[in-house]
Structure 1
Amino acid sequence: MPRSAPIPRVPTVCQICDSIVGRRLYSTKPTLRAHNATTRPRIQIERRLLKTNTIQKRALVSGVFSTEKTTSSSTDTRDTPIQDGNTPKKAREELSSVTNMMTYIERSKSKVLTNRGIPSEADINAALRACWVVADYIMDDTVQPQLTHMVNELDSTASEILSLDRASNSHSSKSSETPSISMTAQVKQIIDKISHNAYAVISHPPVFITPKLLEKYVKVQARLGKPETLPQIFQMYAWKPMPRESKGSISYVKQSPNKIANAIEPEVIEKALDTAIEVKNLDAAVGIVENSYATKAFIRNKLLRKCLVPGGTLAATPVAAYLLATSFSNFQNTMDTTSATNIAFAGILAYVGFTGSLGMVALTTANDQMNRVTWNQGVPLRSRWIREEERAALDKIACAWGFEEKWRQGEEEGTDWDALREYINTKGMVLDRTELMEGME
């Protein structure tokens, strides 16, 4: 019998990779043998790309977390239910995309920076709240592994796409090492971006820094562990001119930095100082103390808070003593009423004066709370009491940077430690007084 003719092949399009392959005329399934070697990695890559968002792929390939507006509904966060404080569960799901995070922050910041007039406090607070929500989400210990995995996976996808254009396998192996190296840099880039956006909002010239906005800004930077800008913002809080809007133009009025209203709350200062100590930033820690506890505004505020009631009581003491002495004079018959009143009045004033003086001396000379920083000889007692918060803050810094073991204290060396010692000496204080150290009594 004659040999049967082979079944003819007709070109067709593969449903998997859209490439033209040969198919037998009577076959119902496309064959995969027609795929060349470059088709298989392409299939794997496209399958992985289907699992990720298109906007995220573009951002990672370009190497920048894009914040441009897109038409994709997945990046629209205008109706995101973000609340102050802890991030709700639904909001966390919306912030699971890196692009969503940055878009949310950029949109809130643009409302403040693009405002031609004086931005409202609500818009400023919303911008800082956006930074806080994203910062709280990123710095959460339970979220960071997921964020790291997401950035790592997207970096790997981007590197594989770029490796298709590589001619040799050696270049591909080098590109595979890029994700692990760039992963940490990308996460740090997000943190730096959030910190920069918060600083851009609070330092905008038409923005007037209120105590609530300052507290919110410190809260954001403390969550991110970025205290570098806190000393400058503390100084700006007292010195920044106040904006005034009139007839469509903005004018600025200088404010006195020594006003009582420009004093920073002790709770805000302590939070900022703890952040600087935690990240071991000595310059930021000293700058925070210099622009908070050491200012005249804080001292005047302390005098008003803690001396108003005692001062009023002291001023009313002579009147109360005279009334009390007049009442006592009516209970005796050995001398005239006027003499008895004068003697009782003098005795009451002497008792109150001596007792109050002893209490004041005991209050201003108390040193049980001092660890390594003490007052130098010759500093007045009133200055010691007024500047106690400043001394306590410097003492806290010295204890954080020095040795924890008491028997090793005093042996610290280095440029930072010498600079801290000199700075403390210029403030009328002494670091590690010899006669007060352990074993040197």
Structure 2
Amino acid sequence: MAQAALTRRVGFVCRSCQLAQLSHRTGPTRQLTTSVAASFTSRRPLSRSRLDRNERRTAATAAAPPKLTPPRAIRSARKQAQSQSQSQVVDDDGAMVVALAATEVGDPRVALTSLRQDISHITTSPTLPTNEEVYGLLDRTLQFANLVVFGQPEQPTLDEDNNNDDKSTASSSVLDDLEESASASASIPRPKKYTVISPASTLPLSFRTKAADVLCEMAYQLVRDPKVIIHEEILDLYVRIQCLLGKPQYLPEIFHLYSHKPIPKQTGTGTIEYTSTQAWHPRYDIPRTLSDAALDAAIHVKDMPLAIAIIDTTVARPNHKLMRFYRKAVPPLLAVACTPVIAYAGASWISTVQNVWDEDMAKYTALAGSVAYIGTLGTIGFVAMTTWNDHMERVVWQPGTGLWDRWIREDERLYFDRIALAWGFQEKWRRGEEQGDEWEALRETCGLRSMVLDKTDLMEGMQ
């Protein structure tokens, strides 16, 4: 029991911080720099032999780095060696503090040069690179992007000294929820700061700006290389890099290549053959989280043509419509297809428990009534779902647009609505007063797609 409790407390903050950073569809981010101190105080005096045994267990547990599972496409071969040194300090009360020393990142300029050489080796090599190599390079690029933006190779997650920082709220909540009890947390001294202050945090602004441009260009050249297969995990890392560095203009072309890029295959003679892809297939649909991040980045830089290009290469693609159909329409359609069978079984049972009508007459009457009831309600529900417009603010469908188009293209209309809300006036009473070439181009684009921007009947005070 003591060993289990001790094992949990050591490395407690490390695992919690990683849980706060990881998301459902994102690839793992390796911890290059970890400077976390976890301490505990014994509740009761222990014998010397037992204390020594617990110390050895503590050291063995702290030496093991956190294990992160790579994405499914590269899980079999990717292994990273992490070297961590540990130091043991005994305080005045006899409590053991195990501190994990930070891994040296090295000179950022040398690291950037090394990363550029590795990417150039992949793009100029006549052989087909493995998915693990491409993912590793993009992972290093993402860590360097975090170093350029935040001053450390991972996004900051916790800083108790800055109570006004909203970004640390989520991580603080995760740590507070994972604490055993209020009394236990009060008796355990916690370190005051969990973020890492590395020498790279003093990088000059000119180097950071130039490094951001170089990183975006290198990631772009790597992913668009004909020999590189764009998997979903690789696309996820690429989108995170470009959005983090504020360069969403590199995204539409990669979104297009994700479904149209020929698939390379190494032949026995050493050459590479390319086969065309089925661009309409639902497996090439851009995940919704990535398209949302790309659109937010385009809105942040105030580039309306880029935002429309992102819509055209994500939610307006045929594969996205097919994926929406498979995910949201197929289950209800299967339920409708099973309705006659279920209704027939129910009608057969009802006909056996009544003695008013003939058995066959009662069975078919009950079957007709149940099918009519379910079909009528299903039709009303479909019409209500496709004509519902309470969630629409500035962009609505034109009158006469088919119900199927309204439903299957709802994500496209939603993205145009987000663009209109970002570019237009925030005050509702001023909506409709916007002017300018970009605004007129947005209005015309919506009209060409069977949408209406700022319909008069739905504006403030015009209902």
Provide the TM-score with structure 1 as the length reference: 0.70
Change (3 A) 1:85 1:358: farther
- The gaps in structure 1 that reach 5 residues or longer are 1-82, 152-182
Written as runs of structure 1 = structure 2, the 5 A alignment for 1:31-42 is: none
Match of 1:314 in 2: 336
8 Å Cα contact 1:263/1:292 also seen in 2: yes
Distance in 2 separating the partners of 1:128 and 1:347: 61
Q: Could you tell me the percent identity over the aligned residues?
A: 35
Written as runs of structure 1 = structure 2, the 5 A alignment for 1:226-245 is: 226-245=247-266
Match of 1:113 in 2: 123
Are 1:261 and 2:283 an aligned pair? yes
Written as runs of structure 1 = structure 2, the 5 A alignment for 1:383-394 is: 383-394=405-416
Written as runs of structure 1 = structure 2, the 5 A alignment for 1:167-206 is: 184=206, 186-206=207-227
Are 1:100 and 2:100 an aligned pair? no
The residue type equivalent to 1:131 in the other structure is T
Distance in 2 separating the partners of 1:141 and 1:187: 10
Match of 1:360 in 2: 382
8 Å Cα contact 1:235/1:291 also seen in 2: yes
Shift of 1:144: 11
TM-superposition CA deviations, 1:143-192 (whole Å, max 9, x none): 999768543xxxxxxxxxxxxxxxxxxxxxxxxxxxxxxx54x4322111
Shift of 1:440: 1.4
Distance in 1 separating the partners of 2:143 and 2:230: 20
8 Å Cα contact 2:123/2:222 also seen in 1: yes
Distance in 1 separating the partners of 2:197 and 2:397: 45
- Secondary structure of the residue that 1:393 maps to in structure 2? helix
Distance in 2 separating the partners of 1:144 and 1:377: 58
Written as runs of structure 1 = structure 2, the 5 A alignment for 1:118-157 is: 118-140=128-150, 150-151=203-204
How many residues align? The count is 327
Distance in 1 separating the partners of 2:31 and 2:296: 21
Are 1:209 and 2:230 an aligned pair? yes
Change (3 A) 1:150 1:131: closer
Change (3 A) 1:256 1:136: same
Match of 1:61 in 2: none
The residue type equivalent to 2:215 in the other structure is I
Match of 1:88 in 2: 33
Shift of 1:118: 1.4
Match of 2:371 in 1: 349
Distance in 1 separating the partners of 2:378 and 2:402: 18
Distance in 2 separating the partners of 1:104 and 1:296: 40
Distance in 2 separating the partners of 1:98 and 1:136: 12
8 Å Cα contact 1:325/1:344 also seen in 2: yes
Distance in 1 separating the partners of 2:263 and 2:272: 10
Are 1:290 and 2:312 an aligned pair? yes
The residue type equivalent to 1:195 in the other structure is C
Shift of 1:101: 3.2
**Segment drifting more, 338-347 vs 112-121:** 112-121
8 Å Cα contact 1:86/1:136 also seen in 2: no
8 Å Cα contact 1:202/1:209 also seen in 2: yes
Match of 2:460 in 1: 438
Point out which structure has higher relative CO (alpha carbons under 8 A, 6+ apart): 2
Shift of 1:109: 1.1
Match of 1:5 in 2: none
8 Å Cα contact 1:364/1:384 also seen in 2: yes
Distance in 2 separating the partners of 1:416 and 1:101: 42
Provide the TM-score with structure 2 as the length reference: 0.67
- Secondary structure of the residue that 2:273 maps to in structure 1? strand
8 Å Cα contact 1:95/1:134 also seen in 2: no
Distance in 1 separating the partners of 2:121 and 2:353: 76
Distance in 2 separating the partners of 1:434 and 1:86: 53
TM-superposition CA deviations, 1:46-92 (whole Å, max 9, x none): xxxxxxxxxxxxxxxxxxxxxxxxxxxxxxxxxxxxx8255524898
RMSD between aligned residues: 2.2
Shift of 1:359: 1.1
Shift of 1:115: 3.1
Change (3 A) 1:382 1:272: same
Change (3 A) 1:94 1:115: farther
Distance in 2 separating the partners of 1:390 and 1:363: 16
Change (3 A) 1:144 1:414: farther
8 Å Cα contact 1:108/1:123 also seen in 2: no
Written as runs of structure 1 = structure 2, the 5 A alignment for 1:372-387 is: 372-387=394-409
Change (3 A) 1:281 1:147: farther
Are 1:335 and 2:357 an aligned pair? yes
Distance in 2 separating the partners of 1:85 and 1:288: 29
Are 1:218 and 2:228 an aligned pair? no
Match of 1:163 in 2: none
